[in-house]
């Protein structure tokens, strides 16, 4: 089932009404990522305000999710002696069938869901349609025909209405608007298939049976999806296969329940020949064929949707903030959490085309733009409006804070302001030189991984009038005049080096001039942190942790090497998920709204991660270890002082892959003039486990687009326009000939001409609408990251030992001996949607 955005607070309001002191606590299953963490903070603030007990359980992958279903959700089931309850999934389970993975479909039980209601907040796409349009509670039918669903009042074809009353359990997906706007065809196909009767084969129809069996076998092989192929790691049903037949008890008949609208009626005269040609067995065959064609048509719609590749929609933190706003509970603390969640998406590579870089292509097609310039631009605009509404500036102060403003004017100031910060990382908590050097945007465009690139950076600073001695000082000790004029100097000289997006333009005097501006929050005189800085720090806590981080005074290569050896040479290798759980609660505590103490203490961890990324990425590029295969670029990290960091943290490896991918993309654009980035596969050796952690990042917007294909597409468009123009000319000539003939006959041609023009206009408009719909569906999956699908195909073909446990299916773990064959098979696959 899915809850439309217009009813986003309906289920929460019902929970508050039905809650009592003996109710079981609400269980929150939270992914280990900043966006889900911020959404968890928002929801727990709402639950605390309404005195609703709750329990937080971090989950790092499908194994943890299945374990949570066995240990925590099972106790809540009414079939196990529990009293039901609510489970909230944040950034978890959008791609798999949660009912089976959480154990809510027990074959030995008399019902499913068992009073457990699962709320799903997830930005990953494509949805598992069993969650969106299914997820209804079922029970054993009185006729003993297995599980069947009774019609629920308030649920119309999977959509929850205002009259819906919770209590029986089920899977509820919170719609951010995409389901209503884009999945109408999938909704029709899924609901039709779920109500369609099975086709029973007759023994006499040997030929038809063999044909159908062969079709079913081949189609089932083609329709295997990610979750179906994950085996024990995922343990869920296929997203692409036909939905389970959850029919009512009276819909089990096959041929007799099919409407016979096309059979001759007894009241109409029929010829003897027609009676002889339509005996009952022949009618049954025709109905079966018609039913098969209808089934294949709807299954094709679902297959196309599941084959789009991964992408990301609206952040779950803003969806949780929308829930708070609908309840009238929004405030500065919740708004700040939503801002951090949105900002963290770009840092972690979550774009509208899946996990990948956000390199801008030069094309102006709206389907080729990045998440930040399409849907996120609307989200950022709404957040800026919320900041202005909840933080009105005093009459004698500016409504913005520039990067040079040293602090706040009041020790009790906790407001959020807009700021035109340049695209540097940890600017206020590092030196200007280090902040510029470790910025992925600046590093990729100045090529700072080699000596000429570093000289280019020094020349930029010299033109700005900043000495190396001054810019290498801690930012708080820099000259105050330099801080105040830093933005103007960058705007003056950034264009010379192709850094046009380094600093947002606009004076900031009007709202429309603040496009691209960031957010900053003050904690009195204690600290001032931008949303980007908080996102970097949170990501570092989750990826690195706060232990074994060298202090600034001892940050030598020997210390990094020792830290790596401590991580990588343990005899007893711990479970990776066990190491991640303490990091989650450390990051959760760092988001405390009252003080930024934990965030400030974790700044060295963020600096350590950024140094490791620059050092390792520069080594890969300088040593030419990034190889160009047919469909993607490939790199392997086998040694180095930071190997343990990337091998034990998939999140850190993703950030390294994004840094390398952006650098390669800009380098190719400068040399060859190609648009976008090439997809990248990066692997890190985990010698203690004998595996490689492999991540596949998409090429970003415009990545993977073939110039010849675009040329061919343009030619096809021109051909269609020429054909359409030729048809118009032919129609005009025929119309003129008919008009001349009617004049000779003395007939009135005004009415006929009007009728003909209307019919031709209708024909043209219908043709144009069909063409628009076809083009829209073709562009739907353009540029999407298809590494998850390609990984599954290679696993089936090569029998490589691969473990898929991450919620991002483009992150896998491959046995050390199988990496070569795995990459060889992967090089023949399409890894970016076209």
pLDDT of residue 620: 95
* Of 721, 756, 773, the domain-final residue: 773
pLDDT of residue 671: 80
pLDDT of residue 513: 62
Q: Is 73 left (phi over 0), alpha (psi -120 to 50) or beta?
A: alpha
What are the phi and psi torsion angles at 692 (to 5°)? -115, 130
Rounded Cα gap, residues 436 and 612, in angstroms = 15
pLDDT of residue 668: 83
Q: What is the mean pLDDT of residues 271-276?
A: 45
Q: What is the mean pLDDT of residues 447-476?
A: 92
Rounded Cα gap, residues 231 and 233, in angstroms = 5
Q: Give 783-834 pLDDT, tens digit per residue.
A: 788 899 999 999 989 888 999 999 999 999 999 999 999 999 998 888 877 6
DSSP string, 150-186: PPPTTEETTEE-TT----S-EEEEE--SHHHHH-HHH
Instruction: Tell me, yes or no, whether 145 lies in a domain.
Output: yes
* Of 740, 757, 773, the domain-final residue: 773
Instruction: Tell me, yes or no, whether 528 lies in a domain.
Output: no
Instruction: Tell me, yes or no, whether 61 lies in a domain.
Output: yes
More reliable by pLDDT, 86 or 752: 86
Percent of the chain exceeding pLDDT 90 equals: 46
Rounded Cα gap, residues 542 and 651, in angstroms = 8
How many helical (H) and strand (E) elements, i.e. helices and strands, does the chain have? 31, 23
Instruction: Tell me, yes or no, whether 136 lies in a domain.
Output: yes
Instruction: Tell me, yes or no, whether 787 lies in a domain.
Output: no
Rounded Cα gap, residues 100 and 113, in angstroms = 10
More reliable by pLDDT, 152 or 710: 152
* Of 311, 336, 363, the domain-final residue: 311
- Intra-chain end-to-end CA distance of the chain, in Å: 31
Rounded Cα gap, residues 370 and 374, in angstroms = 6
The number of folded domains in the chain is 2
Instruction: Tell me, yes or no, whether 95 lies in a domain.
Output: yes
Instruction: Tell me, yes or no, whether 443 lies in a domain.
Output: no
Asked if 370 contacts 352 with a C-beta cutoff of 8 angstroms, the reply is: yes
Domain containing 769 equals: 707-773
Instruction: Tell me, yes or no, whether 195 lies in a domain.
Output: yes
Give Cβ neighbours of residue 115 (< 8 Å, ≥ 6 apart). 76, 77, 78, 82, 83, 84, 85, 167, 168, 169
DSSP string, 570-585: -SSPPPHHHHHHHHHH
Q: Where are the alpha helices (DSSP H) in 73-202?
A: 74-76, 98-101, 129-132, 178-182, 184-195
DSSP three-state, residue 325: helix
Q: How many CB atoms lie within 10 A of CB 547?
A: 12
Cα dihedral 38, 40, 46, 47 in deg (nearest 10):
-160
Is 98 a residue whose pLDDT tops 90?
yes
Rounded Cα gap, residues 439 and 446, in angstroms = 11
Q: What is the mean pLDDT of residues 751-773?
A: 52
Is 300 a residue whose pLDDT tops 50?
yes
Q: Give 343-363 pLDDT, tens digit per residue.
A: 998 888 888 888 887 655 443
3-state secondary structure 287-334: HHHHHHHHHHHHHHHHHHHHCCCEEECCCHHHHHHHHHHHCCCCCHHH
């Amino acid at each position: 089932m899915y809850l439309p955005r217009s009813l986003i607070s309906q289920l929460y309001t019902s929970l508050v009404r039905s809650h009592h002191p003996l109710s079981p606590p609400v269980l929150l299953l939270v992914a280990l990522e900043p966006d889900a963490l911020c959404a968890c903070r928002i929801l727990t603030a709402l639950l605390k305000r309404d005195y609703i007990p709750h329990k937080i359980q971090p989950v790092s992958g499908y194994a943890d999710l299945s374990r949570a279903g066995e240990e925590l959700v099972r106790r809540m089931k009414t079939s196990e002696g529990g009293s039901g309850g609510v489970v909230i999934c944040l950034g978890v389970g959008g791609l798999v069938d949660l009912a089976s993975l959480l154990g809510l479909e027990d074959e030995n039980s008399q019902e499913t869901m068992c009073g457990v209601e699962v709320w799903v907040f997830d930005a990953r796409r494509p949805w598992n349609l069993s969650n969106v349009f299914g997820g209804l509670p079922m029970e054993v039918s009185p006729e003993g025909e297995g599980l069947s669903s009774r019609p629920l009042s308030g649920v119309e074809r999977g959509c929850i209405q205002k009259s819906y009353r919770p209590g029986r359990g089920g899977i509820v997906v919170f719609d951010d608007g995409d389901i209503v706007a884009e999945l109408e065809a999938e909704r029709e196909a899924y609901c039709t298939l779920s109500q369609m009767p099975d086709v029973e084969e007759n023994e006499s129809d040997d030929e038809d049976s063999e044909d159908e069996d062969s079709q079913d076998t081949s189609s089932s092989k083609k329709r295997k999806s990610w979750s179906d192929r994950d085996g024990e790691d995922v343990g869920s049903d296929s997203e692409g296969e036909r939905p389970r037949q959850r029919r009512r008890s009276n819909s089990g008949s096959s041929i007799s329940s099919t409407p016979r609208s096309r059979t001759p009626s007894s009241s109409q005269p029929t010829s003897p020949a027609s009676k002889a040609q339509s005996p009952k067995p022949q009618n049954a065959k025709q109905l079966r064929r018609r039913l098969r064609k209808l089934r294949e048509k709807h299954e094709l719609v679902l297959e196309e949707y599941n084959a789009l590749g991964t992408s990301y929609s609206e952040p779950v933190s803003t969806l949780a903030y929308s829930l708070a706003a609908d309840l009238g509970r929004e405030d500065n603390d919740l708004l700040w959490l939503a801002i951090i969640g949105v900002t963290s998406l770009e840092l972690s590579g979550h774009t509208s085309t899946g996990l990948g870089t956000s390199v801008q292509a030069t094309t102006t097609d709206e389907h080729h733009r990045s998440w930040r310039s399409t849907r996120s631009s609307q989200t950022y605009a709404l957040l800026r409006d919320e900041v202005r509404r909840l933080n009105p500036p005093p009459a004698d102060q500016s409504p913005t804070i520039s990067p040079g403003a040293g602090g706040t004017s009041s020790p009790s100031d906790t407001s959020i302001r807009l700021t035109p910060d340049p695209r540097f990382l940890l600017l206020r908590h590092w030196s200007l030189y280090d902040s510029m050097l470790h910025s992925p945007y600046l590093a990729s465009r100045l090529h700072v991984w080699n000596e000429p690139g570093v000289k280019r950076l020094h020349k930029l600073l010299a033109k700005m009038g900043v000495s190396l001695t001054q810019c290498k000082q801690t930012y708080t000790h820099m000259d105050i005049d330099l801080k105040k004029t830093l933005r103007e100097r960058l705007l003056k000289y950034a264009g010379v080096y192709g850094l046009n997006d380094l600093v947002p333009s606009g004076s900031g005097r009007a709202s429309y001039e603040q496009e691209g501006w960031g957010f900053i929050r003050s904690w009195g005189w204690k600290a001032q942190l931008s949303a980007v800085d908080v996102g970097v720090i949170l990501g570092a806590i989750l990826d690195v942790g706060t232990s074994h981080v060298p202090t600034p005074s001892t940050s030598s290569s020997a210390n990094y090497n020792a830290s790596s050896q401590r991580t990588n040479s343990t005899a007893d290798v711990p479970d990776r998920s066990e190491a991640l759980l303490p990091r989650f609660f450390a990051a959760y505590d760092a988001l405390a709204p009252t003080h930024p103490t934990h965030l400030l203490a974790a700044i060295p961890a963020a600096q350590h991660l950024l140094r490791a990324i620059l050092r390792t990425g520069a080594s890969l590029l300088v040593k030419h270890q990034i190889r160009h295969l047919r469909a993607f670029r490939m790199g392997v990290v086998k040694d180095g002082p930071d190997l343990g960091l990337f091998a034990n943290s998939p999140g850190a490896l993703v950030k390294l892959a994004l840094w390398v991918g952006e650098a390669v993309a800009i380098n190719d654009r400068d040399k060859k003039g190609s648009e976008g980035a090439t997809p990248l596969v990066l692997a890190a050796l985990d010698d203690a486990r004998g595996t490689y952690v492999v991540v596949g990042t998409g090429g970003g917007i415009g990545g993977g687009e073939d110039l010849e294909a675009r040329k061919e597409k343009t030619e096809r468009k021109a051909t269609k326009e020429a054909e359409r123009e030729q048809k118009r000319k032919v129609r005009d000539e025929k119309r003129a000939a008919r008009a001349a003939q009617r004049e000779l006959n003395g007939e009135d041609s005004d009415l006929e001409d009007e009728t003909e023009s209307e019919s031709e206009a209708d024909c043209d408009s219908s043709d144009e609408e069909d063409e628009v719909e076809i083009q829209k569906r073709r562009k739907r999956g353009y540029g999407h990251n298809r590494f998850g699908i390609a990984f599954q195909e290679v696993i089936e073909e090569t029998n490589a030992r691969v473990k898929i446990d991450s919620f991002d299916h483009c992150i896998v773990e491959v046995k050390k001996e199988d990496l070569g064959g795995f990459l060889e098979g992967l090089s023949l696959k399409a890894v970016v949607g076209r």
